[in-house]
Amino acid sequence: MITPPPLDEAVLTIIRCAIREDLGGLPGEAAAIDRTTKIAISPTAVGKAHIVARKSGVFCGGFLLPVILKAFGGSLGFRVDIPDGQLVNAGQQIAEIRGPLANILTAERTVLNFLTHLSGIASLTHKFVMAVARCRPGSPPLICDTRKTTPGWRSLEKYAVRCGGGVNHRMGLFDGVMLKDNHIAALRSGADAARSLAQITARIRREVPAEIKLWLEVDNLDQLQEAIPGGAADIILLDNMPPAKLAQAVTLRNELGRGGKPLLEASGGVTLENVAEIGRTGVDRISIGALTHSAPALDLALDIA
């Protein structure tokens, strides 16, 4: 079972914001209204609705359903038939909601917005995971996300990546150290001007707690060769290198590194069309910003039964 993120104040705030922007306020507030439902649907009418997949993919977001429904008020019951992280087929029922029809109809779009977005991320991640699994059976590279997430949604979107079989990169700036090109440029404008990348990385490593991973970004093979000695970096990120260069980078790491360390992570310009070729180079990880910033929503529908 994939552990969902905590339903902390950040997640609850997103849900409340989604409801407020749809109703003009939160349920119970004077400004909150669904004009169509108020006019058309009797407040005493009850029934049920099914959430159904219109396209196949990986479902994600079921753990949010009770929280969203509760936020809309009323006595809505529900049943989730598909666990997060499971493949669904077009036409398959995912969940059932029961209770006042007015509440079901008012909650419909907010529920679907959360589920389709998170399921879209999980589905796209799954496609990348399967693509590299086919190209390197038995030892595929890990498919990793990035910090390129929707503001406020990071814990939810990174959970969706896990549901799709991917691996989370740093959650934020607080749980990992990553020396990027701008960090190196800034360091070399001062006291580290004469130091090699390996020396700079070793100095930074001494100041980083042992349990915190240290990444180093390089743009070319010369930088990689300069960075490997000493093994201070846990992971070296190979930024925007074509597959031929990535393969050379793996060979270089195997010659200069120790026991397959540091790990090599390809990043930049990764698509479903080229990820298998990148995977065949032998890199250990592939990070893909598109998992969270460009995933299309999975088509789901809510149908009154």
Can you list the domains of the chain with their CATH numbers?
9-121+295-304 (3.90.1170.20), 130-293 (3.20.20.70)
In this predicted model, what pLDDT tens digit does every residue of 151-201 receive, in sequence order? 999 999 999 999 999 999 999 999 999 999 999 888 888 777 768 899 999
Q: Which of 55, 148, 261, 280 is catalytic?
A: 148
In this predicted model, what pLDDT tens digit does every residue of 8-26 receive, in sequence order? 999 999 999 999 999 999 9
DSSP the chain: -PPPPP--HHHHHHHHHHHHHHHSS-TTSTT---HHHHHHS-TT-EEEEEEEESS-EE---GGGHHHHHHHT-S--EEEE-S-TT-EE-TT-EEEEEEEEHHHHHHHHHHHHHHHHHHHHHHHHHHHHHHHHHHHSTTSPPEEE--S---TT-HHHHHHHHHHTT-B---SSTTS-EEE-HHHHHHHTTTTTTT--HHHHHHHHHHTS-TTS-EEEEESSHHHHHHHSTT---SEEEEET--HHHHHHHHHHHHHHSBTTBSEEEEESS--TTTHHHHHTTT-SEEE-THHHHSPPPP-EEEEE-
In this predicted model, what pLDDT tens digit does every residue of 227-241 receive, in sequence order? 998 889 999 999 999
127 is annotated as an active-site residue:
no
Q: Which of 38, 70, 109, 134 is catalytic?
A: 109
55 is annotated as an active-site residue:
no
234 is annotated as an active-site residue:
no
What tokens appear for 246 in the block?
């990535």
Distances (CA, A) of 232 to 66, 198, 214, 260, 263: 46, 7, 8, 13, 11
**What's the one-letter identity of residue 148?**
K
Backbone dihedral angles phi then psi of residue 272, each to the nearest 5 degrees? -65, -25
Q: Are 179 and 143 in contact (CB under 8 A)?
A: no
Q: Which of 84, 239, 265, 284 is catalytic?
A: 239
In this predicted model, what pLDDT tens digit does every residue of 94-147 receive, in sequence order? 999 999 999 999 999 999 999 999 999 999 999 999 999 999 989 999 999 999
Owner of token pair 């099914």: 50
Q: Which of 34, 84, 108, 217 is catalytic?
A: 217
Residue 74 has pLDDT above 80, yes or no: no
Q: What is the pTM of this model?
A: 0.96
109 is annotated as an active-site residue:
yes
Q: Which of 180, 213, 245, 280 is catalytic?
A: 180
273 is annotated as an active-site residue:
no
Q: Are 99 and 75 in contact (CB under 8 A)?
A: yes
